[in-house]
Amino acid sequence: MITETEPRATAPDDDTAPPAPSARRRIPRWAGPVAVLVVLATLPFSTLTVPGLFEGALNSPATLHLLAFCLVFGGLATSYDLLYGRVGLLSFGHALYFACGAYTAALLMRMLELPLLWAALVSVLAGTLLSLLLGAVALRVNGIAMAMVTLAFAQAGSILVARDPGRVTGGEEGLSLDTAVVPDAFVGVMNTVNLYWAAVAYAAVATVVVWWLSASPVGRVWQGIRANEQRVAVLGVNPYPYKLAAFTVGGGLASLGGVVYLLVTGGVTPTITTAEFTLTLLVMVALGGAGSRWGAVLGAGLYTYAEHRLRQSGGEAFSALPDWIAAPLSQPLFILGTLFVLMVFFFPGGLTALPGRVRSALRDRRTAHE
Amino acid sequence: MTAAGPLLEAADLNVWIEGSHILQGVTFAMPERGVTSLLGRNGVGKTTTVKAVLGLVPRTGRVAFDGVDITAEPTHAIVTRGIGYVPEERGVFAALTVAENLRIAERRPGTHRYDLVHELFPELEKRREQPAGTLSGGQQQMLAIGRALLNDNRLLIVDEPTKGLAPRIVREVADAVARAAEEVPVLLVEQNLSLVRRVGGAAVVLDAGRVVHTGPAPDLLDDADRVRELLGVSRAAAPAAGTAAPADTEGRPTA
Amino acid sequence: MSTVVLLIVTGLGLGALYFLIASGLSLIFGLMDVLNFAHGAFLALGAYGTWWAANFLPGAGPDGAGFLLALVFGVAAGTLAATLVELCVIRPLYGRHREQILATVGLSLATPALLQAVWGADPLTFPKPDLVRGTVEVLGANIPRDRLLLILAAVALFTALWLFNSRTRYGLIVRAGVQDRAMVTALGIDVRKSFTLVFAIGGAAAALAGALGGLYYGVVTPTQGMSLLIFAFIVVVIGGTTSLTGCAIASVTVALVQQFANYYTVAGLGDIAVVIVLALVLLTRQGGLAAKKSAERVA
């Protein structure tokens, strides 16, 4: 087969290359993340109100709850980005491991009355094992075939949960969190702040694990696999175990996210098992910028925030418009889906690539003027 | 027809593939008549040069066919100007029958030279309803060459037609290439120097993505030292013409 | 005995539905390497288009010739949408397979939301013409007539596609392009023209599947497309992209496995059995999709 490449289509690739680290920066690399973490952790002590962005003060339960949501999805999207952005694995089944964590934890607490910590531990272990097992099968094939296998596995899980053959998953209704075995600190509106901190912790853990692994020797192999898997194989490195490692770690982190999600929402429904759910993760990661430092968290945070706000407003913001415009705009997924398509066209690198693109555009303009 | 100028001109072709600089300013011109052989060791960029000419790989530089700049044209438009292409991997559609493989190549109605194709390769007529994937390697090569000859082309580009074939088949394919060269100019990528010697014409030698020699092919092949230096062949090409058989693999650097 | 016949015929009906969706998907994926998540959107548009026409379009109606007109309207809507998607979304991203997938993902999220905005999230009752009401007795089993209609439609589509493939030049180009797209262009053929055509054909077939799916399920919902789409994906993976017959056999196999397992074991287990079949096929055979289209195209 002839390698076919469109001369014009591949030409603009240059400006998606990562910008070289600027030399003038003297601040250590860890300072930024630590600052972000400190700000996030101390946020609940602030009574600041941000009109327009959040309805109540920053430390009001409603705001904290929304932020906790954003952070859970930030961590989850980071775990997805480990596959998609760092290794180049297109999985359509990430929802399965997230749902595995959430459902297992809910069931363990409900049926065996296991304490939260034990339930969390067992469900993360279960999620990790499940992703190891299914990943071992799915990664036997490559590319789209692998994507389809992950999709099919997740679909099987989704059907299992929704049909509920053993009358345990609650079917379409889902399960609510059994508050009896959850520590009081995580129960009730007054304790939203603790849920928020749990979400911060989860997002931090997911981010640190992914960053740390990506910087390790394993991460360099991942980079190689992402760029050109065949070349890695030619160099005598079998890509399979490395891909499986990413798949397993990603699955494990997702199932941990499931547990935190269970706490934050106080229950689970089958919507988190669906293919659409995984597709939204893909949208979040691509929105922020796949494989970049902050992309997944940023994309997920923004997406979750936007969806929540759009849903909350229920399209009232658009009620002044004629009905045929207002009706579609009342659907968050319509707005987000359309925006996403536009973004794929105009900002292929996602939000994190935006500053670099703006800089290079400005530079081009400057050189054009000279 | 424009006045006698080069039929094909490539100027300063540069190709990067996954960060490797494969072609580093390849420049050559192909005369309006006869065979031009593109020679060189494995991996010096012969196939990439051909693909760059056809726009099958992203490239910079300039390509002109019959005096017209075709650099910006898409592959199908370049080919429609009158080029027949036989790729290195033959590009035969395995699930299509022999007849369909030929039919898909038909361009202007009424100008198809099935007579020539069937004269050169009677085998193809006999096997017309057979799926191309079930043909032997040699037969697939014949189909690929036949497909390129089907149209009234101004130029044939043939990439390593004898590669990996049994000696007996090599002769048959070489005959076909020589016969085709009588009708239409050929840009030939080849490592089988006896075939090159037989068809004569001009030679362009590549090394590490650059043109390192141009000149008449027979002169080059007569100069054993130069051949060794440029092509890395230990012994100059086997006896000339016709008896191409045993020279096929010898002296070839292994892939 | 009659149960087995019933299961076989309903299985064939479901398989027909899968074939209507998967044949287009497999053409699009085979020729263009585009994993078209928007296919479910074409399906939904076909269903809603037919529903709308049957209720509101002058001349169309829920029965007889009126329903046929409504069906034509729905299929036309799906075809138009597919053509527009190819021209406006897929074509500008040519050669960038990841972006193409992402764009269709965006469309697959936005379209059901749009339909929901216009017609609400609740299932809409789909018109049922008299002709496909009730049952027919076949070998002692009472077969719902709509299943037979589905089978008929799939057979018709199969024949039409087969004729297109074997008798037309575009069919020849498409078959060749599925195997080696670059070589087709190297023969002087503008392969992109057939991309639009393939999208239009796929969109029409999906829209027809949407409308007939409406008959099959009795209702239409904005998200019906997605779950059918996933099974169609499975069919494409099992059947490969190179042959129409492979696609048809895979459609029927998947549907029969699903029907029989769902009936003889617990409901829902049939769907899972299909996934197991998929895993087994992929692991034991390096053919079809798995062998031809590997990581190089997407990763």
- What is the average per-residue pLDDT within B9-34? 89
Residue A167 has pLDDT above 60, yes or no: yes
Top residue of B57, B70, B76 to mutate, by most chain C CBs within 10 Å, is: B76
Is the pLDDT at A316 greater than 70? The verdict is no
Q: Give the C-alpha separation, C239 to B43, whole Å.
A: 38
Please, which contacts does B76-81 make with residues 24 or more away whose CB atoms are closer than 8 Å?
B76/C185, B76/C186, B76/C187, B76/C188, B76/C189, B76/C190, B76/C191, B77/C190, B78/B53, B78/B54, B79/B54, B79/C185, B79/C186, B79/C187, B79/C188, B80/B107, B80/C188, B81/B154
Interface of C with A in 89-128 (CB under 8 A): 89, 92-96, 98-99, 101-103, 105-114, 116-118
Chain centroid to CA A138: 21
pLDDT at C50: 94
In a domain? residue B44 = no
Query: Could you list the residue range(s) of the whole structural domain that residue B86 is in?
Result: 82-192
Tell me B238's DSSP state. Answer: P
Model confidence at B244: pLDDT above 60: no
Average pLDDT over residues C271-282: 83
User: What does the alpha-carbon distance between residue A53 and residue A41 come to, in Å, rounded to a whole number?
Assistant: 19
Give B35's DSSP letter. E
- What pLDDT sits at residue B233? 61
Res B1 pLDDT > 70: no
Is a pLDDT exceeding 60 seen at residue A243?
A: yes
CA–CA distance, B100 with B88 (Å, rounded to integer): 20
The 10 Å CB-count burial string (b at 16+, else e) for C82-95 is bbebbeebbeebbe
pLDDT for A355: 81
Q: Which distant-in-sequence residues (6+ apart) come within 8 Å of B157 by Cβ?
A: B50, B53, B54, B83, B84, B85, B86, B148, B186, B187
**Percent of chain C surpassing pLDDT 90:** 44
- Residue C297: predicted pLDDT: 32
Best residue in C96, C180, C183, C190 to probe B by mutation, most B CBs within 10 Å? C183
Beta-bridged to residue C30, according to DSSP, are none
The predicted structure's pLDDT at residue B247: 37
* For residues C146-166, average pLDDT: 91
Please judge whether C297 and A144 are an interchain contact, meaning their C-beta atoms are less than 8 angstroms apart.
Answer: yes
Q: Which residues pair with B20 in a beta bridge?
A: B17
ipTM score: 0.84
Q: Which residue on chain C is closest to A347 by alpha carbon? A: C99
Any C CB within 8 A of B73 CB: no
pLDDT of B169 over the 50 cut: yes
Across chain B, mean pLDDT equals: 84
Report CA torsion sign: B207, B213, B214, B216.
negative
pLDDT higher at C59 or B236: C59
Query: Which structure tokens are listed for A38?
Result: 């400190």
Averaged pLDDT for residues B185-208: 89
- Which parts of A139-191 fold into alpha helices (H)? 143-163
- Say what the pLDDT of residue A236 is: 85
Contact C52, C191 (CB under 8 A): no
**How high is the pLDDT of residue C2?**
82
The verdict on B90 and B3 lying in the same domain is no
Residue B4: its pLDDT value, please? Answer: 60
Chain C 206-245, residues with CB within 8 Å of chain A CB atoms: 223, 226, 230, 233-234, 236-237
Output DSSP code: residue B201.
S
A neighbours by CB contacts (3+ pairs under 8 Å):
B, C
What average pLDDT does chain A have?
A: 83
Quick one: which of A357, A344, A348 has its CA closest to A19? A357
Q: How confident is the model at residue A18 (pLDDT cuts 50, 70, 90)?
A: very low
* Within-domain flag for B163: yes
B249 falls within a domain:
no
**Domain annotation covers residue B43:** no
Contacts of A88 in chain C (CB under 8 A): 295, 299
Question: What is residue A25's predicted lDDT score, i.e. its pLDDT?
Answer: 55
Q: Does A11 touch chain B (CB under 8 A)?
A: yes
- pLDDT number for residue B248: 38
The beta strands (E) that lie in B113-227 are given as 155-159, 186-189, 202-207, 210-216
Q: Per mean pLDDT, which range of A215-229, B107-121, C78-92 is the poorest?
A: B107-121
Average pLDDT over residues B209-223: 89
Cβ of residue C76 closer than 8 Å to a chain A Cβ: no
Residue A217 has pLDDT above 70, yes or no: yes
- Whether residue C247 is predicted with pLDDT greater than 80 in this model: the reply is yes
Domain residue spans in chain C?
Answer: 17-222
Is the pLDDT assigned to residue A324 strictly greater than 80? no
CB contact under 8 A, B91 and C186: yes
Higher per-residue pLDDT: B234 or B193: B193
- The answer to whether residues B68 and B137 belong to one domain is no
Assess whether pLDDT exceeds 80 at residue C242.
no
Kindly identify which residue of chain C lies nearest to residue B58, measuring between CA atoms: C95
Residue tagged 């101004």 (tokens): B154
Please give the average per-residue pLDDT across A283-296, as a whole number: 88
Measured in angstroms, the CA of B98 and the nearest CA of chain C are apart by: 12
DSSP state of B60: E
Predicted pLDDT of residue B221: 87
- What is the predicted pLDDT for the residue at A315? 59
Convert the pLDDT of each residue in A66-88 to its tens digit: 999 999 999 999 999 999 999 99
Same domain, B188 and B87: yes
Dihedral of the CA atoms C244, C247, C251, C257 (nearest 10)? 130
Helices marked H in chain C: 2-32, 39-56, 64-85, 97-119, 145-167, 169-179, 181-186, 191-217, 224-239, 244-264, 269-284, 288-292
What is the average per-residue pLDDT within A40-49? 77
Greatest mean pLDDT among B75-79, B117-121, B164-168, C144-148: B75-79
CB of A246 closer than 8 Å to CB of A86: yes
Who wins on pLDDT, C122 or A367?
C122
Question: What CATH number did the domain enclosing B170 receive?
Answer: 3.40.50.300
For A76-106, the three-class secondary structure string (H helix, E strand, C coil) is HHHHHHHHHHHHCCCCCCHHHHHHHHHHHHH
Indicate yes or no: CB of B93 within 8 angstroms of CB of C175.
yes
Q: Which amino acid is at B162?
A: T
- Nearest-by-CA chain A residue for B86: A2
pLDDT band of B63, cuts 50, 70, 90:
very high
What average pLDDT score do residues A281-301 get? 90
CA distance B47 to B40: 10
Element counts in chain B: helices (H) and strands (E)? 10, 10
C159: pLDDT strictly greater than 60: yes
| Contact (CB<8Å) C105/A141 | no
- Report which of residues C252 and C286 the model is more confident about: C252
pLDDT at A326: 76
DSSP tag of C86: I
Q: Are residues B97 and B188 in the same domain?
A: yes
Question: Mean of the pLDDT values across residues B151-176?
Answer: 88
Measured distance CA(C47)–CA(C54) in Å, rounded: 11
Count CA atoms within 13 Å of residue C145 on its CB side. Answer: 9
Confirm whether B246 is domain-assigned: no
Measured between beta carbons, the chain C residues lying within 8 angstroms of B103 are 172
Q: Band the pLDDT of C278: cuts 50, 70, 90.
A: confident
What is the spatial distance between Cα C239 and Cα B65, in angstroms, rounded to a whole number? 44
Number of domains forming the structure of chain B: 3
CB-based contact C241:C30 (threshold 8 Å): yes
Is the Cβ pair B103, C190 closer than 8 Å?
A: no
| pLDDT at residue A5 is higher than 60 | no
Q: What distance in Å separates residue B51's CA from the closest CA in chain A?
A: 9
The share of chain B scoring above pLDDT 90, in percent, equals: 44
- Predicted confidence at residue A261, as pLDDT, reads 94
Percent of chain A with pLDDT over 70: 90
Per the CB < 8 A criterion, the answer to whether C73 and C49 are in contact is: yes
Looking at the structure, do residues B95 and B161 belong to the same domain, yes or no? yes
Is there a single domain that holds both residue B72 and residue B88? no
Contact A2, B51 (CB under 8 A): yes
Closest to C188 (Cβ–Cβ): which among B87, B93, B107? B107
- Restricting to A residues 199-228, those with a Cβ less than 8 Å away from any Cβ of C are 226
A68-72, B109-113, C151-155, C170-174 — which is least confidently predicted? B109-113
B143 lies in the same domain as B108: yes
Contact check, Cβ <8 Å, B93/C176: yes
- In a shared domain, residues B69 and B91: no
Chain B stretch 100-129, residues whose beta carbon is closer than 8 A to a beta carbon of chain C: 100, 103-105, 107
Q: Do A5 and B87 touch (CB under 8 A)?
A: no
Whether the CB-CB separation of C295 and A87 falls below 8 Å is answered with: no
| Residues B174 and B113 grouped into a single domain | yes
Looking at the structure, do residues B170 and B215 belong to the same domain, yes or no?
no
What residues 131-160 of chain C have any CB closer than 8 A to a CB of chain A? Answer: none
Which of B165, B187, B186 shows the shortest CA–CA distance to B46?
Answer: B187
Decide if A3 and B58 are in contact by the 8 Å CB cutoff.
Answer: no
What is each CA distance from A343 to A289, C92, C214, in whole angstroms?
A: 11, 13, 34
Whether C172 has its CB under 8 Å from any CB of chain A: the answer is no
pTM as predicted = 0.81
For residue A9, what pLDDT band results from cuts at 50, 70 and 90? very low
Whether residue B126 is contained in a domain is answered as yes
Task: Decide if B6 is inside a domain.
Answer: yes
In chain C, which residues touch B (CB < 8 A)? 169, 172-173, 175-176, 179-180, 182-191, 242-243
With a CB cutoff of 8 Å and minimum separation 6, the contacts of C51 are C70, C74, C124, C126, C127, C214, C220
Chain A residues within an 8 Å CB radius of C293: 143-145
- Contact call for residues C109 and C40 (beta carbons, < 8 A): no
pLDDT for the residue A368: 63
Instruction: Identify the pLDDT of residue A113.
Output: 84
**Which of the pair, B239 or C147, is modelled with greater confidence?**
C147
Q: What is the pLDDT of residues C204-214, one digit of tens each?
A: 999 999 999 99
Shortest CA distance from C181: residue in chain A: A4
* pLDDT above 90 (res C70): yes
State pLDDT tens for residues A96-155.
Answer: 999 999 999 999 988 888 888 899 999 999 999 999 999 998 888 888 888 888 988 898
A233 CB-contact burial (10 Å; exposed 0-12 / middle 13-18 / buried 19+): middle
Of A231-240, B48-57, B125-134, least confident by mean pLDDT is A231-240
B66 and B119 both lie in a single domain:
no
